[in-house]
């Protein structure tokens, strides 16, 4: 099978189709510019067809025995394991991800599929007491119905499955709109896996399109009850506003401006470990990750030693062809992103920052840059940097570190490195983020732990019990045993 030939289509009601729009989305390899596929966009009519198919199929799926539903996910997991190598190749080609990143994405996706197998059996009802004699209150947890999923380009296979798998496992149907930079890995590939795993037709649909063609039809449509979106806070604000105006639940995983904080109590071994964590936190997938560490905050008492080690490690990173197993930095997703990063560095230097490492830009290949001396009131301190550019920020003591970390409008992830774990936990509790990691990387995602942010980093959580909250609703059914008295 050629993924970029066979899967570069719409998938609606169990059929692979060509969109009826008047223009094509062109899928490019971001490293060499090779044209991978041309996909004619879906129109609002096809969005409607996808949602109506999902609505019809969901009625039967919702009452299907959950032990039967989970068999589908067992088969999907086996297929991903069997096809891991070819999925890795597709991620490298379509996203410009290094081989290390691609393997990480596929293996993490497998863990989320294992969790989905269990999620099918997770919903529990409750029986609650009543002040009325002879009355029984039953609270049922039921699927919401149909879920609309809008996935990003950076981890489209993993992030897509993080919503698709639990939503389906819990008895819902799904319509996915993948990012136009990842229409196959984030769309067609997921549909093919579930099709081959014998998911009934109509339960999973993929529409490859763009707001320029359909406007807000994907969000405004009357069928979906929940919209799960992962992407920038700018777009997320719009998605949330439109969804809210139609009384839909929105799960929003948005931008981040994470800080990795290095406290003053680390010995040389601890600093070496913190350097490794900082490099991983910033440069995995070229920094195109919402949880990446935009800022490395270092106590001045260890600033010199940490900076020397960190700069040396960054200079040793190999940028190049993502197909080369030794490559650690591949291309950013497109030319616009490469140009934006170059402009950002130029702006920082013009404002007085110093480049400890100044990477070159060759096409979409952007080499790492390390900046220091960025003013506290600079816009760069408060924005997400989606690429291999990092700010080194010194601080004097914990109180200043907390203040600097909390000055960001975002609050997704973060990390703190210290020789005292409990000190680290105490520090982490003071940071206004949805996730903080003591002596780890800022980039972490596990299938049983709530993933999500505070402030401009989003609303709602995914994974584990949070997925049950996201994709189910509660229904109260009371039963009166015997007769009672009414107020009138």
pLDDT digits (tens, 9 = 90+) for 318-372: 999 999 999 999 999 999 999 999 999 999 999 999 999 999 999 999 999 999 9
Q: Does 412 have pLDDT greater than 90?
A: yes
462 falls in which pLDDT band (50, 70, 90)? very high
pLDDT for 443 equals: 96
Mean pLDDT of 238-255: 97
pLDDT for 195 equals: 98
Give residue-wise pLDDT tens across range 149-205. 999 999 999 999 999 999 999 999 999 999 999 999 999 999 999 999 999 999 999
Percent of the chain with pLDDT over 70: 100
pLDDT for 224 equals: 98
25 falls in which pLDDT band (50, 70, 90)? very high
pLDDT for 179 equals: 97
Q: Does 1 have pLDDT greater than 80?
A: no
2 falls in which pLDDT band (50, 70, 90)? confident
Question: Which member of 94, 105, 213, 290 is catalytic?
Answer: 290
281 falls in which pLDDT band (50, 70, 90)? very high
Mean pLDDT of 130-138: 95
pLDDT for 392 equals: 98
What domains can you pick out in the chain, each with its CATH number?
3-254+457-476 (3.40.605.10), 258-438 (3.40.309.10)
SS3 string of the chain? CCHHHHCCCEEECCEEECCCCCCEEEEECCCCCCEEEEEECCCHHHHHHHHHHHHHHHHHHHCCCHHHHHHHHHHHHHHHHHCHHHHHHHHHHHHCCCHHHHHHHHHHHHHHHHHHHHHCCCCCCEEECCCCCCEEEEEEEEECCEEEEECCCCCHHHHHHHHHHHHHHCCCEEEEECCCCCCHHHHHHHHHHHHHCCCCCCCEEECCCCHHHHCCHHHHCCCCCEEEEECCHHHHHHHHHHHHHCCCEEEEECCCCEEEEECCCCCHHHHHHHHHHHHHHHHHHHHCCCCCEEEEEEEHHHHHHHHHHHHHHHHHCCECCCCCCCCCECCCCCHHHHHHHHHHHHHHHHCCCEEEECCCEECCEECCEEEECCCCCCHHHHCCCCCCEEEEEEECHHHHHHHHHHCCCEECCEEEECCCHHHHHHHHHHCCCCCCEECCCCCCCCCCCCECCEECCEECCECCHHHHHHHEEEEEEEEECCCCCCCC
pLDDT for 89 equals: 97
475 falls in which pLDDT band (50, 70, 90)? very high
Question: Is 253 an annotated catalytic residue?
Answer: yes
pLDDT for 357 equals: 97
487 falls in which pLDDT band (50, 70, 90)? confident
118 falls in which pLDDT band (50, 70, 90)? very high
Give residue-wise pLDDT tens across range 384-396. 999 999 999 999 9
pLDDT for 408 equals: 95
pLDDT for 438 equals: 98
Mean pLDDT of 207-234: 97
Question: Which member of 49, 94, 253, 367 is catalytic?
Answer: 253
pLDDT for 344 equals: 94
């Amino acid at each position: 099978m050629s993924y970029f030939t066979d899967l570069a289509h719409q998938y609606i009601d169990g059929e692979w189709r060509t969109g009826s729009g008047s223009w094509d989305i062109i899928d490019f390899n971001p490293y060499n510019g090779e044209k991978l596929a041309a996909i004619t966009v879906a129109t609002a009519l096809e969005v409607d067809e996808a949602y109506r198919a999902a609505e019809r199929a969901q009625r039967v799926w919702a009452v299907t025995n959950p032990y039967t539903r989970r068999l589908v996910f067992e088969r999907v997991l086996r297929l991903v394991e069997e096809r891991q190598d070819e999925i890795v190749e597709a991620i490298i080609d379509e996203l410009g991800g290094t081989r290390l990143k691609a393997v990480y994405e596929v293996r993490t996706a497998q863990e989320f599929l294992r969790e989905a197998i269990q999620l099918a059996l997770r919903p529990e009802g409750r029986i609650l007491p009543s002040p009325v004699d002879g009355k029984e209150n039953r609270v049922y947890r039921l699927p919401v119905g149909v879920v609309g999923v809008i996935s990003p380009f950076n981890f489209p296979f993993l992030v897509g499955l993080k919503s698709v798998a639990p939503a389906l496992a819990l008895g819902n149907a799904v319509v996915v709109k993948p990012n136009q930079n990842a229409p196959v890995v984030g769309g067609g590939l997921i549909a093919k896996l579930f099709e081959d795993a014998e998911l009934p037709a109509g339960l999973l649909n993929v529409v490859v399109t763009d707001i320029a063609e359909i406007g807000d039809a994907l969000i405004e449509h009357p069928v979906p009850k929940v919209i799960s979106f992962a992407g920038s806070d700018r777009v997320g604000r719009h998605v949330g506003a439109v969804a809210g105006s139609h009384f839909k639940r929105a799960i929003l995983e948005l931008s981040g401006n994470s800080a990795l904080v290095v406290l003053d109590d680390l010995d040389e071994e601890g600093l070496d470990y913190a350097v490794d964590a900082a490099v991983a936190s910033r440069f995995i997938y070229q920094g195109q990750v919402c949880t990446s560490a935009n800022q490395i905050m270092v106590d001045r008492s260890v600033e010199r030693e940490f900076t020397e080690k960190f700069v040396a490690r960054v200079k040793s990173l190999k940028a190049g062809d993502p197909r080369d197993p030794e490559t650690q930095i591949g291309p950013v997703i497109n030319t616009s992103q490469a140009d934006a990063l170059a402009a950002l560095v130029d702006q920082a230097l013009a404002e007085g920052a110093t480049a400890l490492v100044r990477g070159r830009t060759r096409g979409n290949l952007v080499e790492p840059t390390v900046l220091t001396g960025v003013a506290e009131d600079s816009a760069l301190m408060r924005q997400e940097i989606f690429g291999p550019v990092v700010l080194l920020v010194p601080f004097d003591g914990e109180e200043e570190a907390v203040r600097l970390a909390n000055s960001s409008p975002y609050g997704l992830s973060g990390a703190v490195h210290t020789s005292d774990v409990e000190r680290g936990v105490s520090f982490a509790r003071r940071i206004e983020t949805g996730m903080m990691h003591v002596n780890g990387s800022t980039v972490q995602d596990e299938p049983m732990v709530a993933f999500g942010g505070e402030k401009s980093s989003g609303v709602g959580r995914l994974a584990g019990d949070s997925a049950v909250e996201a994709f189910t609703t509660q229904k109260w059914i009371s039963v009166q045993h015997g007769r009672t008295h009414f107020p009138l």
